[in-house]
Structure 1
């Protein structure tokens, strides 16, 4: 009930890791969702990611700028239809820099040039295991934007996939940024809460838009 009566406060989850609730207002959420739907269309659209061991990720993914596949980047969808990766739009880079400025301060955003977006779609049964974003050559902060259903975002430490970690509830419109000494922290999504997306958004499931600097 308190969550409905009082605004959720921003929180420092770990050094360099900040959660900013409701960072995207409803209009910006709808605009970002419309863009995600365009990006998800083939060619080089939404795909199932297969791991080297023969498994599959339950969250489906589309990439912009550079195509991520376990565990490298390419300019074409080497593990999908082979098409060229969709371009990374300048406005998305601007959004990433604003996110870092709001979360970590202007000094942290200086000179950043975001050029990768990974858009993951979670249905009711999708999960994401604990992992690190370690395939980039840059240590620039990672920007994470949530749309749709609420999830549990598990943010851990830089040494192990196990405890200590902290579970954070990410709702539609929330921002999470992690950089500095938390840049290589393990993180994952152990649970999605179906049916919790804002009805006016028009999305069943959860979208996560992750922005990174490749350094390539």
Structure 2
């Protein structure tokens, strides 16, 4: 047999244990990733995630804003302080009631934000993915407000509503419903673990909803 053939065979025999060890490590990690994927939802379901959602008029534009609960903000803060990036998105849908026809989706708006705490520089990196803008701060309150309290997300021109929106009281029929959907997207510490994490959780983010009803005046 030629020498290069012998070298090739020896090389395969030499590195085969590396593949075996790598496969064993992957088998051991898969249950841990699965437990990690399943552990977030039960904990977060025991708390109120979205504290409030509101439609407001500024000038001639209708905006939406939301606020996450203090308890949930503390949960996100703990993740940030451990070095984990947090990526969230807010989706707002303003739906108008029709008496005889299906409800009409009147306006939509969304904002996607990412926050990361750099342990070495001790500052927060705030990324508005929607606007493709990055800024920095060393103030935890400013960083959490950026992530957990989106304000003035544009929906539509206020004049197109045909009136002023006021909060609907209990027992009254509402003209509009503002639906807010909050999603927290899982962010891993490495690309390999992030891909495995998404595959194990079927690429589904953690999703929470809240509604607010309004009348025209």
Instruction: Give the TM-score normalised by the residue count of structure 2.
Output: 0.27
**Structure with higher strand content:** 2
Q: Which has the larger radius of gyration?
A: 2
Instruction: Give the TM-score normalised by the residue count of structure 1.
Output: 0.27
Which structure has the higher relative contact order (CA within 8 Å, separation 6+)?
1
**Structure with higher helix content:** 2
